[in-house]
Amino acid sequence: MQKEGNNTKVVGIEKKVNKFIKVTLKKIIYFFLYYIYITPFLNIILNNIKKDFPCIILLYHRIVDGKSIYLNKGPVVQHQVKDFKREIRYLVKYYNLINIETAIQHLREGKRFSRPSIVISFDDGYLDNYWLAYPILKKYRIPATISIATSLIGTNERTWTDQIEFAIMETKKDRFKLSELFGDETVRIRTRKEKEYANIRIAEALKLMPDQTRQNIMEKIFYILAVEKNAIKNEKARRMLNWEEVKEMAQGGITIGSHGHSHSILSRMEIHRAKEDILTSKKIMEEKLGTKVKHFSFPNGREEDFSENLRDYCREIGFESVASVVYGVNDPFNGNVFSIKRIGARSPVWMLAGELVRLLVRTN
């Protein structure tokens, strides 16, 4: 028994080492390809010799600057604004940046693109999308899409994953035990690195649970960390957009999509509650914005976080596309506008540039 446990541990460590080597190698290759101008050159070649491209939809969440105090959740979740600027300048130079409407229309009509084409999308509706991303998008006239979770807009509320972050940042404790997620293990949260690691581990474990169980464990986390959950409401700094900002961006060429109402993982809810969540967000948005809301991106975005039944429901109530975070390009020949794939935007620019060229070379 002991031996079996040790073997599993060794295999686990081996896997981690292999992954680390793979990721490091990829970074080195992308870095050099970019700085010796191979990546930009490949972009130019592809633009000239191919006349037939699928559509790539990039996904961003938060844009941060020196004043931001978020725990780091990895390069796909948050981008420094200086990196974002460089990424946008690169994309403008080598890609055709289109809006979601054009992308959906092409996919529906079975048409590919004559140039490498990208839609820029944001999920969740963070305030920094307005303060940091929107001025850059406006400057370059980029028709991005921002999908918002309506219960969070204009409030001091946080997404449930950001609530975990709040508990970890506010607690005076430097370790905790939580048998429901980690058995006997003592999880340390003294240093910032330890807090970031614990934050990711808790969120990933909770994402697998039914919504009600997840809520119960969240209550317990606040209890064992001795943090008052209601204190979130009294935070001075607002994290999410308000309706005025959403409206201003909608008038400025940004497509506003729905990301559900509560930001709960919809496949972990009872089906009638999940449908109600989707419909509520659509109704609220259409009332506030005075236009039809046609695009939906479901919270957490993995295949298992949604269902066929909910896809049909989205179609029934008038959505024209449903986006996931399933990795890949969108090809009209085998694509489905109710199963849009997206690529988490990498940072810094040489990572993004390398990843995009790799995708184009592989899929053409």
The residues of the shown chain that bind Zn ion, judged by CB under 5 A, are 123-124, 299
Smallest gap from Cβ 57 to Zn ion, in A, equals: 15
Q: Which is nearer to Zn ion, 123 or 245 (CB)?
A: 123
Smallest gap from Cβ 297 to Zn ion, in A, equals: 8
Burial label for 247, CB within 10 Å (0-12, 13-18, 19+), is: middle
> Contact 77/64 with Cβ under 8 angstroms?
no
Burial label for 207, CB within 10 Å (0-12, 13-18, 19+), is: middle
Smallest gap from Cβ 296 to Zn ion, in A, equals: 12
Strand-pair partners of 175: 188
Q: Which is nearer to Zn ion, 124 or 196 (CB)?
A: 124
Q: Which is nearer to Zn ion, 87 or 305 (CB)?
A: 305
Q: Which is nearer to Zn ion, 59 or 198 (CB)?
A: 59
Q: Which of 82, 147, 118 is nearest to 353 (CA)?
A: 118
Smallest gap from Cβ 252 to Zn ion, in A, equals: 22
CA distance 24 to 190: 28
Smallest gap from Cβ 299 to Zn ion, in A, equals: 5
Q: Which residue has the tokens 């506003």?
A: 256
Question: H or E segment at 136?
Answer: helix 134-139
Buried b (16+ CB within 10 A) or exposed e, 263-279: bbbbbbbeeeebbebbb
- Residue 67: both structure tokens together: 């004043």
CA distance 309 to 329: 24
Report the sign of the C-alpha dihedral through residues 140, 135, 255, 343, in that order: positive
CA distance 277 to 259: 10
- Whole-angstrom Cα Rg for the chain: 21
Q: Which is nearer to Zn ion, 64 or 360 (CB)?
A: 64
Smallest gap from Cβ 125 to Zn ion, in A, equals: 9
Q: Which is nearer to Zn ion, 257 or 299 (CB)?
A: 299
Smallest gap from Cβ 64 to Zn ion, in A, equals: 16
Q: Which is nearer to Zn ion, 95 or 160 (CB)?
A: 160
CA distance 178 to 184: 8
Question: H or E segment at 137?
Answer: helix 134-139
Q: Which is nearer to Zn ion, 176 or 298 (CB)?
A: 298
> Contact 313/296 with Cβ under 8 angstroms?
no
Q: Which is nearer to Zn ion, 54 or 257 (CB)?
A: 257
Smallest gap from Cβ 218 to Zn ion, in A, equals: 16
Question: Count of CB atoms within 10 A of residue 73's CB?
Answer: 17
